[in-house]
Amino acid sequence: MRVADVVQRVAGADRPWRSLDVETALRVAVANAVPLALVVATGETRHAAFAMFAAFTAIYGRAEPYRRRVVTVTAVALLMTAAMAAGTALGLLDAPVWAAAVGLVVVLVAGVCVIGWLQGVPPQPIFPVFAYLTLLQVPLAPHELPRVAAITLGSVAWAWGVSLVGYVVRAVLGARLPGLFAPLGRGAGRTAAVLRDPALWRSAALVVLGALTAGAVGTALRLPHVAWAVVAVVATLPAYGRPPDAWRSVRRLVGTVAGALVAGALLAAEPPVAVVVAVVVVCAAGAEVVMARSYALGLAFVTPVALLAVHLSAPGDPTALAVDRVVETALGAAVSLALLGAARLAAGRRAGAAPA
């Protein structure tokens, strides 16, 4: 294999730039910017993670026509709200590890089913899982519940509206500036039959196994942010209807290292909160522009978002935070590669044992 081929596989640079990605990036920027600005302005900076995760509802439905998109973003809004509520409740109750693991399985299976039915992009339940696990660890007192509930529901509602306001924008400007907007797709028909597809449940079982393995290893090693290892597994194992791709784990690790260096350097400079929020918004939008073309480059944008969100909620040593992100992503990537290797070996044995 040529060096150029290896570089292309690691970068994942096999798709052209698309204006629909730019539209999605603008939606994500607006969906994040307003709630985060309000959270900071009202002195609720430590609850910024609630606003940020809720805003990620706007990522879904990127190329869908609006009649289809309203179903997508409504379903995702409900899924994200439920995952965030579960993580918040279990964290508030100081739930034991086994209860948190059961909650993770429920969120994973629900996410695989909902996103599989929606034919969503991204096809893995990354955001509900990340939200659940992160909020599980956010320190919260009972008297703060009304505030975080208001932040969560308000941010979800805002993201829902931002996702659909393009219908009006296209109606007003589309005829005057026909070259401004890329055409929306149609998408295949949705059917509940996917929930009876054995392949869906095999996908769910694999991701549950991987997530629990990464979580158990991370907990045994006393890693401080086990959620990052679990999310790395969920993001790199094949989603329902997608082929396995071992290079995806490599790309995620490469992008994470780059993003951790950027975020660590930024936090070491001790910027004001307004600058941190601005970087979160820019990086979240930038990830949507580049992710479809280069997964590694997309992770270089996503990683600062994750690290800065943690910093806003619970400031700490930026170097330790960046190192933790890389180490735990490496753990998740290793678990994913091990499971993919085991699955490939098992498939080879079954093929060899099949009658001629």
Q: In this structure, is residue 225 part of a structural domain? A: yes
- The rounded distance, in Å, linking the Cα atoms of 313 and 356 is 60
Helices (H), the chain: 3-11, 19-41, 48-55, 66-92, 97-118, 126-136, 145-164, 166-173, 198-220, 226-236, 247-268, 273-290, 295-313, 318-353
Q: Is 96 part of a structural domain of the chain?
A: yes
Nearest to 155 by CA among 70, 272, 247, 30: 30
Report the alpha-carbon distance of residue 98 to residue 331 in Å, rounded: 21
Tell me the CB-side half-sphere exposure of residue 101, using CA atoms within 13 A.
Answer: 15
CA distance 59 to 291: 12
Domains in the chain, number: 1
Residue 355 lies in a domain: no
Closest listed residue to residue 107, CA positions, set 246, 207, 233, 5: 207
Domain-embedded: residue 266: yes
Q: Is residue 56 part of a domain?
A: yes
Report if residue 354 sits inside a domain.
Answer: no
- Give dist(CA 128, CA 57) in Å, integer: 10
CA 159/CA 340 separation, integer angstroms: 35
Of the candidates 231, 241, 243, the residue with the CA atom closest to the CA atom of residue 107: 231
Kindly state whether residue 238 falls inside one of the protein's structural domains: yes
Answer whether the bond into residue 122 is a cis peptide, omega within 30°.
Answer: yes
* Regions of the chain with pLDDT less than 50: 4, 6-17
Cα–Cα dist 89/92, whole Å: 5
Query: 122-160 b/e with 16+ CB inside 10 Å = b?
Result: bbbbbbbbbbbbbbbbbebeeebeeebeebbbbbbebbb
Helix, coil or strand: residue 237: coil
According to DSSP, residue 179 is labeled T
Closest CA to 132 of 155, 106, 150: 106
CA 46 to CA 44: how far, in whole Å? 6
The span from the CA of 32 to the CA of 38, in Å, is: 10
249 within some domain: yes
CA angle 181, 15, 340 (to 5 degrees): 130
| pTM exceeds 0.85 | yes
Distance CA 15, CA 235 (A): 19
Contact partners, residue 19, CB within 8 Å, separation at least 6: 181, 182
Please tell me the predicted confidence (pLDDT) of residue 4: 47
Range of the domain at 240: 3-347
pLDDT tens digits along 192-233? 889 999 999 999 999 999 999 999 999 999 999 999 999 999
What is the predicted pLDDT for the residue at 352? Answer: 63
Predicted pLDDT at 14: 47
